Structure 1
Amino acid sequence: MKAIKWLMTGVLALSLTACASYYPVAVDVQPTVDAQGGVYRGQAVSLSSQDKRKNDYIIQIEQNNKAPVVVGASNNIKVQMEQALAQGFSNQGAFIEQGSPTQIQLELEEVLARVIRGHISYDVVQQLRMKLVLKRDGRTITKQYRRSAQAEFPGRLHPELDKVKDAVNEQLSLMLKDMLNDRDVQQFIGAQ
């Protein structure tokens, strides 16, 4: 009887370990930039970023009667967004130059995709919030950006995290496009 008890305990522990290790610890975040040229005429800007998110994970998997499983980004999401934004400004004709009088700070406030288990599918609810703070000659403007999206993916046992990762990358890319196409930002930078 004792041997069966030990065997059942071992099987239970193994099955719990297998569930917890099914998901990766992190996924690769790669936002893309789609910016048209000819917006700026060689204006110089300095660019910095801060990560002010409450959590360092980007995906939270919620299943009935289980603790949520969280998945982070395998690369630094703040650096990825700053580099993509710099690339976008460069594509538009600006020069990225540290110490420039025109300073732009990107602040990440929320990047989260909640994966919610349904009966035969998963809902992916995304919330993104970021801010640009632009400063020059004592003037400051602050622009808030928000994106939210919801998608449903089929799956009975486990969500396909590649699809969730692609959805996150798409929303990050759309947010970059919102920032780069913002007329207030373009006028502030272009008025040097």
Structure 2
Amino acid sequence: MKKLFLAASVVLLAACASPQKEQINFIPTAATSAAKMVEGKSISLSSQDVRAAQYVALLDNGRNTITPVHTRQNVRIGIENALVNQFSSQGYQVTVNSANSLKVVIQEALVSVKHSVMANDMNSSVVVELTAENAKGKLIKKYTATASRSGMMSASNSDIELVFNDTVNKLLEEIANDTELQLYMKERF
């Protein structure tokens, strides 16, 4: 019993002593539409995150130390929820079972940060593939949003958070304003 208690104590102390992961808030904003484009058409929306790693930023301080940064919220769920709000504002009813499906695949979502005590450079890229499909056909589109930012001093988590959220919001706006996708969904769904 003593050995079990000692082993549990060591594991607990090791967990407390290990460094905490860097995290930022991920709060995407849907690009909602003031006017409905369709009325009563239903779609089902699914999403998948195929990124090799789940961090959203890599901090390189130039001294052979690269630190990953994660989000407190799930990236896939955040983007999917924003798209549900976006398509709902356009007049679509998002349901579980619809003959009209949209599939969102998150291929890349990363902010590369090179920083020192005096300066920082951030380059952000988000890539999403969207597939609109039903019995009448299939449309596959790839959306890419990028952003760059430089600043004085070292990059803070709030700086990284701002760049990442802005890049995702830019991507959501691109999807909302894509006339080819809008026309395809209007005619075929």
> Secondary structure at the residue paired with 2:37?
coil
- Aligned equivalent of 1:93, options 85, 91, 94: 91
Instruction: Please name the residue that 1:112 is paired with.
Output: 110
Q: What corresponds to 1:81 in structure 2?
A: 79
Q: 2: CA distance between counterparts of 1:108 and 1:40? A: 26
TM-score normalised to the size of structure 1? 0.83
Matches within 5 A, 1:129-168: 129-155=127-153, 158-168=154-164
Aligned-partner Cα distance in 2 for 1:62–1:179: 31
1:24 Cα offset (Å): 4.8
Cα shift at 1:153: 2.0
Q: How many residues align?
A: 171
User: What residue is the counterpart of 1:34 in the other structure?
Assistant: 31
Per-residue CA distance 1:147-186 (angstroms, 9 max, x = gap): 111101221xx42110110111111011011112111211
| Structure 1 spans left out of the alignment, 5+ residues | 1-19
The 4+ residue runs of structure 1 with deviation greater than 2 A are none
Q: How far does the alpha carbon of each residue in 1:122-164 deviate from its partner, in whole angstroms, 9 at most, with x for none? A: 0011111111011110511100011111101221xx4211011
Structure 2 counterpart of 1:181? 177
Question: How big is each residue's C-alpha offset from its partner over 1:72-119, in whole Å with a ceiling of 9 and x where there is no partner?
Answer: 111111000000000000011110011111100010000000110256
Q: Distance in 1 between matches of 2:107 and 2:31?
A: 22
Q: Structure 2: which 5+ runs fail to align?
A: 1-17
CA–CA distance in 2 between the matches of 1:40 and 1:118?
51
Partner Cα separation in structure 1 for residue 106 and residue 76 of structure 2: 7
Secondary structure of the 2:144 match is strand
Letter in 1 for 2:101: Q
Contact 1:43 1:189 survives alignment (8 Å): no
State the Cα RMSD in Å. 1.8
Q: Percent identity?
A: 20
Normalising by the residue count of structure 2, what TM-score does the alignment of the two structures yield? Answer: 0.84
Alignment counterpart, residue 44 of structure 1, candidates 33, 42, 49: 42
